[in-house]
Amino acid sequence: MLEAEKMARNIGFDPANTIRIKTTVSELGRNILKYAEKGFVSLSHLVDGKKEGIGIEVIDKGPGIENIELAISDSYSTGGTLGLGLPGVKRMMDKFEIESIPGSGTRVYVVKWK
């Protein structure tokens, strides 16, 4: 999370977007701790022409998600929490990809442009 904040600052994100990026990393990171126990978060500095942004990829080898449609809809949770994490992340980021194979793991990739 601190790494994400550093990278976001270096790319030149404003404070509000820096908080969005930190919150996203925290949100996705917590999902790993909660459901999968092991996984990793990798950050990348993206450059597309004049656009600059940050890519956040989160991969775990957890149980996977049975129903992705449900998982990214508001107030759905299998873990007894608010169920707003994934849909919230989707709202905060510019690009949101999720793939999951039940029984073998989940990959979430999000992008925020400056």
User: With binding defined as CB under 8 A, does residue 55 bind another protein?
Assistant: no
From the CB of 22, what's the least distance to another protein, in Å? Answer: 5
Q: Site for another protein (CB under 8 A): which residue of 6, 9, 30, 38?
A: 30
**Shortest Å, Cβ 26 to another protein:** 4
Work out whether 15 is an interface residue with another protein (CB under 8 A).
yes
Nearest-5° Cα angle at 94, 17 to 81: 75
Place of tokens 């957890």: 62
In sign, the C-alpha dihedral spanning 71, 33, 110, 9 is positive
Determine the size of the site formed for another protein (CB under 8 A).
20
Q: Which residues, numbered 60-99, are part of the site for another protein (CB under 8 A)?
A: 74, 81-82, 84-85, 87-88, 91-92
Residues ≥6 apart with Cβ < 8 Å to 29: 1, 41, 58
- Residue 53 dihedral angles phi and psi, to the nearest 5°: -160, -175
The answer to whether the CB of 85 falls within 8 A of the CB of 31 is yes
Judged by CB, which is closer to another protein: 9, or 101?
Answer: 9
Binding site for another protein (CB under 8 A): 1, 15-16, 18-20, 22-23, 26-27, 30, 74, 81-82, 84-85, 87-88, 91-92
